[in-house]
Amino acid sequence: MTTEPPDRRAAVLYSREDCSLCFTLRRLARRSARRHRIRLVVLDVDSDAALRSRYGDRVPVLLLPGGISVVGRAEARAVDDAFRESARLSRDRVAGEGQAKPGAPGRRGGLAWIRRALSHDSNTTPS
């Protein structure tokens, strides 16, 4: 599952009451969210008919910024790794905004720059 959370800057945990896997993932997610400074929103799927229809018994589902997800049973390390990667992607996205010039290497225009560099190299003949 690679769906973005409703708030692209927050991690969203879809869970329900009386679900031991949900309880465990909620505890682990709260700890990692604090550590990596990512806001965590916990939604009870039974509180909304659309959420109940979408997730049914397939909880817990943790969606993090950057399209990262954790579903079902998860170990502490896997949850923390997911939050770490999400935080890294967020930092990279923020750092890359507005810095790259058209055609320069980087997030924006990088492929075009690489293509031009490769075509230039293939058009030159060795002396």
For the chain, give the DSSP string: --PPPSSTTEEEEEE-TT-HHHHHHHHHHHHHHHHHT-EEEEEEGGG-HHHHHHHTT---EEEETTTEEEESS--HHHHHHHHHHHHHHHHHHHHHTTTPPTTSSSTTTHHHHHHHHHHHHHHS---
**Which pLDDT tens digit goes with each residue over 54-63?**
999 999 999 9
Residue 115 pLDDT class (50, 70, 90 cuts): low
Confidence label for 97 from pLDDT (cuts 50, 70 and 90): low
Which domains does the chain carry?
A: 10-96 (3.40.30.10)
